[in-house]
Structure 1
Amino acid sequence: MKKWLPVIMAVALSACSSTDETIWYQLPAASQTVTQRAATDSNRLLWVEQVAVPDYLAGNGVAYQTTEVQYNIANSNLWASPLDQQLRNTLVTNLTGQLPGWVVSAQPLGSEQDTLNVNVTGFHGRYDGRVIVSGEWLLNHQGQLLKRPFHIELKQQQDGYDAMVKALGVGWQQAAQSIASEVSRLP
């Protein structure tokens, strides 16, 4: 029996050790139904040229702030596609739904388009159960520049990466709403 003890212990320990399963995340789409219309003379055109993220957000790992000055980039909780692409695509979807009479695109639309660039400085969960969505946007409207900051903090409804990504999605939708509110007032 003693000679089998090391084998039994090895099997038991290997059963207890777990390999980290990789989980992939995609930002949730806007909850509203969006109908894209063909461009006509009455439509205003908005090109979302770029959504830039800092280096710590540009990798695959979902970012989590562990202290006031430290961040952890997950190894097993990863973005399904580059975060800047997800942010740009969901911004186009959200703005399309919130700007009736506008054609919003991730592709250039012509010479009479307005151009939007967004610089995201924060898009992460935080040690106190909140998520941060922050940055600034710059709109070129008929040759005039309009620049606005945004900073959104939301409380996660539950613990874990799923809840964090959902809360980040809600924060990004709120950022899109604030952009749409400003854009819709343009002459």
Structure 2
Amino acid sequence: MMKWIPVAMALALSACSSTPDTTYYQLPAAAGSASTISTTATSKPILWIEHVSVPDYLAGNGVVYQTSDVQYVIAANNLWASPLDQQLQQTLVSNISAVLPGWIVSASPLDEKHDTLNVSVSGFHGRYDGKVIISGQWILQHDSQLIKRPFLISLPQDEDGYDALVRTLAKGWQQEAQQIASELTRLN
């Protein structure tokens, strides 16, 4: 009986030492969204995306999944490749640029005369019912007007897994970029 104890201990220790693989995710940007700013571009309308904020539960490294009406899980091994607020701002610049090629869209101020956009994201996660939730509000400053719009996007996740979750989140974020672009087009 005693000769099995070292074998059992070795098995137990090897089980504890194995670590799951860590996977990193980056939101894909809209295709064809790269643009160059030339010196003659100053006559184009300018949008400064000043800030995109996320709540604490989304600000960590882990991708978030809602497991019930009151419980959220922050993944330990499925992580954002860079801070989520930065990814949201960068992809918003790319996505709006793709929809409004006549505009200069930037994450930094380029000129004295520009529209300013601030976005507060309150939900950006998968959910137990197979849906992806993207929610929050944005405030657009256009000339002397302030326009505030809430948003709530609920999309079905077509497949299981974190890859599909991140792709669906990116699709919903692109839809919200199109809504913002529609508002900009209406104002200008």
Return the TM-score normalized by structure 1. Answer: 0.91
For 2:13 and 2:29, how far apart are their aligned partners in 1?
40
Shift of 1:76: 1.4
Partner of 1:36: 36
Structure 1 alignment gaps of length 5 or more? none
1:7-27, CA deviations, whole angstroms, 9 ceiling, x for partnerless residues? 444444555564122211111
1:25 match = 25
Deviation at 1:51, TM superposition (A): 0.3
Cα contact 1:67–1:127 (8 A) shared by 2: yes
AA paired with 1:26?
A: Q
- Could you tell me how far apart the structure 2 residues matched to 1:3 and 1:149 are? 67
Q: In angstroms, what is the RMSD of aligned CA positions?
A: 1.7
Q: Is the 8 A contact 1:132 1:151 kept in 2?
A: yes
SS at match of 1:121: strand
In the alignment, the residues of structure 1 paired with residue 28 and residue 95 of structure 2 have an alpha-carbon distance, to the nearest angstrom, of 11
Structure 1 stretches of 4+ moved >2 Å: 2-18, 31-42
Q: How many residues align?
A: 186
Number of the residue aligned with 1:5: 4
Structure 1 position 181 matched with structure 2 position 174: no
Distance 2:91 2:126 in 1: 19
Map 1:137-152 to 2 at 5 A: 137-152=138-153
Alignment of 1:59-74 (within 5 A): 59-74=60-75
Q: Deviations for 1:7-63, whole angstroms, at most 9, x for unmatched residues?
A: 444444555564122211111121334333325242001100000111111111111
Q: Is the 8 A contact 1:36 1:96 kept in 2?
A: no
Contact 1:131 1:168 in 2 (8 A): yes
- Between the aligned partners of 2:105 and 2:81, the Cα distance in structure 1 is 24
Task: Provide the rounded CA distance (Å) in 1 between the counterparts of 2:123 and 2:110.
Answer: 29
Unaligned runs of 5+ in 2: none
More deviation, 120-129/23-32: 23-32
Verify the 8 A CA contact 2:61 2:80 in the aligned structure 1.
Answer: yes
* Matched-pair identity in %: 56
